[in-house]
Amino acid sequence: MKRILLWTGVGLGTAAIVAVAILILFTCVFGNHTYSAPTCTEPGVCTRCGEIHSEPLGHTFSEATCTEPSVCLRCGERRGEPLGHVFLPAACTEPEICERCGERRGEPLGHDMTEANFQTPATCTRCGLVEGEPVPGALKDRAFTEMEVGVPLPYTTASYQDYDVDVTGTAEIVDYAVIDGDETFPAREGYEWHIATVRLVFSGEDAQKNGMQSAMTYGDYYIFDDQMSRTADEDGMRRFVCNYRGARVQCWQKTGPNEEADWFDHELRFTWREGVLVPKGYDGVLLILYHFRLAKDATRLFLPASAVLDENALVFRMK
């Protein structure tokens, strides 16, 4: 009897263990759920009983790019459209480039070079790249005596009495100014007056006895052979042409009235203003004082620079 009870007890105990094991293995009654991992769109769910454990994660979208739409980093789901490139215009040395991703398209434009001129080297019209030097002036290597403001230089010219007799005094640029204009020198849009005040002084017996005749003309540092017009218009304006930034530009010259023209204490003195009306910034005009005999022989004043320029000529560059 005792043995039967014992065996019965063992049997009941085994059955209970088996039952519990079955419950553990095949049900969730002890809270032993087996959850699946949640995804972007599905919650975490118990694979046995279907109990929901966690919410769907939701997508984690990347930023869209030029060529790819927004994409979920977890599941690869795509949303929307690619943004497309935003190309910046091509430049001289760069093709079109996407400002977002750096993608390059096409070819660089290449430089668009101007021809060099007297004032400016060859220059790219787009980016401003400069190549080489300006074209050298025609007078670059020509010998002449250059005047400075406030420095009198010896000036030899012809006697008033006899053109074969030389007289020597001094010539000085006593003042030089760039102005828009004044009552003598009328202003003009886009132009400026370059005005030199010239003083000639002849003194001593030579001057007393012979007097003097001066001769003056104009030249251009850049172009050698262009000449000033022989005659002035009714306003005293004399035309000439300069070559500025690759273009021939009309200019004018005018001689102001004498401010001094007489004997002062045994000095024969002439002072007057010489002006040229040139495009703003033009620096090529040369005021040239030369021996009057050259003009006399040529029977004209305002000789071309090529006829008078040598080391005896006094030259003031109106720049």
| DSSP-derived 3-state class of residue 210 | helix
28 binds Zn ion (CB under 5 A): yes
- Part in contact with Zn ion (CB under 5 A); list of ranges 15-23, 31-39, 130-138, 152-160: 31-39
* Buried b / exposed e along 242-271 (16+ C-beta atoms within 10 A): bbbeeeeeebbbbebeeeeeeeeeeebbbb
- Residue 254: strand pairing partners: 275
The torsion angles phi and psi of 155, rounded to 5 degrees, stand at -130, 115
Residue (15 or 73) nearer to Zn ion, CB: 73
Binding to Zn ion by residue 130, rule CB under 5 A?
no
- Rounded to whole angstroms, the Cα distance separating 236 from 2 reads 155
C-alpha radius of gyration, the chain, whole number: 49
At 318, list the tokens: 């109106």
Q: Which of the stretches 109-117, 195-203, 204-212, 243-251 binds Zn ion when contact is defined by CB under 5 A?
A: 109-117
Per-residue tokens: 159: 């006697």
Alpha carbon distance 301, 196 (integer Å): 19
Of the pair 65, 117, the CB lying nearest Zn ion is at 65
Question: Taking CB under 5 A as the rule, does residue 111 contact Zn ion?
Answer: yes
Interaction mask 55-94, Zn ion, x per CB under 5 A: ----x------x-----x-xx-x-------x------x--
Closest CA to 201 of 160, 164, 167: 167
Integer Cα distance of 123 and 71 in angstroms: 49
Select the residue interacting with Zn ion from 29, 37, 101, 178 (CB under 5 A). Answer: 101
Output helix, strand, coil percentages for the chain, rounded to the nearest 5: 15, 35, 50
Binds Zn ion (CB under 5 A): choice among 22, 127, 178, 301: 127
Rank residues 123 and 217 by Cβ distance to Zn ion and give the closer one.
123
CA distance 152 to 64: 79
Beta carbon nearer to Zn ion, 103 or 267: 103
Quote the CA–CA distance of 68 and 285 in Å, as a whole number.
Answer: 65
Please give the residues from 149 up to 168 whose contact with Zn ion meets the rule CB under 5 A: none
State the minimum distance, in angstroms, from the CB of residue 38 to Zn ion: 11
CB atoms within 10 A of CB 118: 21
Tell me which long-range contacts 310-313 makes (C-beta under 8 A, separation of at least 24). 310/143, 310/144, 311/143, 311/144, 311/145, 312/145, 312/156, 313/144, 313/145, 313/288, 313/289
Is 8 or 62 the residue whose CB approaches Zn ion more closely?
A: 62
Nearer to Zn ion, 66 or 232 (CB): 66
Q: Report, in Å, the least distance between residue 49 CB and Zn ion.
A: 3
With contacts defined by CB under 5 A, name the span among 37-45, 265-273, 287-295, 301-309 that binds Zn ion: 37-45
Site string for Zn ion, 232-261 (x = CB under 5 A): ------------------------------
Of 66 and 249, nearer to Zn ion (C-beta) is 66
Shortest Cβ distance from residue 87 to Zn ion (Å)? 8
* 53 binds Zn ion, rule: CB under 5 A: no
Among residues 64, 90, 98, 249, which is the contact residue for Zn ion, using CB under 5 A?
Answer: 98
Q: Does 33 bind Zn ion (CB under 5 A)?
A: yes
Binding residues vs Zn ion (CB under 5 A): 28, 33, 40, 46, 48-49, 51, 59, 66, 72, 74-75, 77, 85, 92, 98, 100-101, 103, 111, 124, 126-127, 129
